[in-house]
Amino acid sequence: MAIEIGKKAPAFKGMASGDKEISLKDYEGKWLILYFYPKDNTSGCTKQACGFSENIKQFEKLDAEILGVSPDSVKSHDNFKAKHNLQFDLLSDPEKEIATKYDAYGEKSMYGRKYMGIIRSTYIIDPKGKIAAEYKKVRVAGHIEKVMKDLEELKSK
Catalytic residues: 45
Distances (CA, A) of 4 to 41, 47, 48, 103, 117: 31, 28, 24, 11, 21
In the sheet with 13-16, reading across from the earlier edge strand, the strands are 20-23, 13-16, 89-92, 64-70, 31-36, 121-125, 131-135
* 3-state secondary structure at position 13: strand
